[in-house]
Amino acid sequence: MNLRKVVLYRMNKEKVILTDCDGVLLDWEHAFTSWMRKHGHTVINEGCYGQAKRYGSTKDQMDVLIRMFNESAWMRKLPPLRDAIKYVRKLHTDHGYVFHAITSMSDDYYAQHLRTKNLRELFGDTAFETFVYLDTGADKDDVLLPYKNTGCFWVEDKMKNVDLGCTLGLTGVLMGHEHNVGYNGDAVRVQNWKEIYNIIVG
C-alpha cells in the first residue's frame, strides 16, 4: 500500500500524528556530539542549528560526517528526547493515535532498518504505523503532500519544515531548541511532549 493510500485509509479510521525524528523523538544532537568527540572533533559554537557552524568546518566536510554518522551502528541506540517516551506511548495507548515518522536521515537501507528498530524499542511495536525515509537533509515537500488539508498534527524542530506543513493545512508544532528560539510563524512552539500531549488531548 503506497503512502497516499495509507493516508486516505487512515484519515477516517484513526487519529494520525506526523512527526520528524531527530530533535523531536530522538536526541540526535547528543548522540552526534558524542560520536564526533570519539572522532576527535570539538564543538566550537554552541546553539547553532548548522553543524558546520558548530564545529567550524565547511558544509561539504560536515555533510560527509553527518552521513557517516547517520549510516553507522549508532542509529540503533539513539536516546529519546526529553519526555518523548512517556507521552508518545500515552497518546497511542490511551487515546488511539498512531504516528507516521518522516525523517531525512538517510536513503541507506541498513541505516533505515536500525532507525526503525530504535523507534520500536523506545516507543513500542504498534505506535508507528508508517516510516518515511528520505536522503540525508532532503526536503519534505513531496512526502507531506498526501496529508494536505488533513489538519494532522505535524511535529518538527526545523522552522522551514514546520512552516511547510502549516502552508499545506497541517497543524504545526515546533519542538523548541536553541536553533529555533526566534520562531514567529504559524506553528505552536513547545518545549516537550507533555505540552504536545496537552494540546492534542486537552
For residue 25, CA distances in Å to 22, 72, 88 come to 6, 19, 9
Do 46 and 95 lie in one domain? The reply is no
Do 12 and 37 lie in one domain? The reply is no
Number of domains forming the structure of the chain: 2
- How large is the C-alpha radius of gyration of the chain? 16
The CATH number that applies at residue 104 is: 3.40.50.1000
Residue where a domain terminates, one of 76, 94, 109? 76
Q: How confident is the model at residue 9 (pLDDT cuts 50, 70, 90)?
A: very low
Q: What's residue 141's pLDDT? A: 95
Do 95 and 55 lie in one domain? The reply is no
Cell numbers placing 31: 548522540
Q: Could you tell me the residue range of the domain that residue 183 belongs to?
A: 3-27+80-201
Q: Is 130 left (phi over 0), alpha (psi -120 to 50) or beta?
A: beta
Average pLDDT over residues 1-11: 53
Do 101 and 68 lie in one domain? The reply is no
Do 115 and 144 lie in one domain? The reply is yes
The answer on pLDDT for 6 being more than 70 is no
Q: How confident is the model at residue 50 (pLDDT cuts 50, 70, 90)?
A: confident
Tens digits of residue pLDDT in 88-101: 999 999 999 999 99
pTM confidence score:
0.90
Give 182's DSSP letter: T
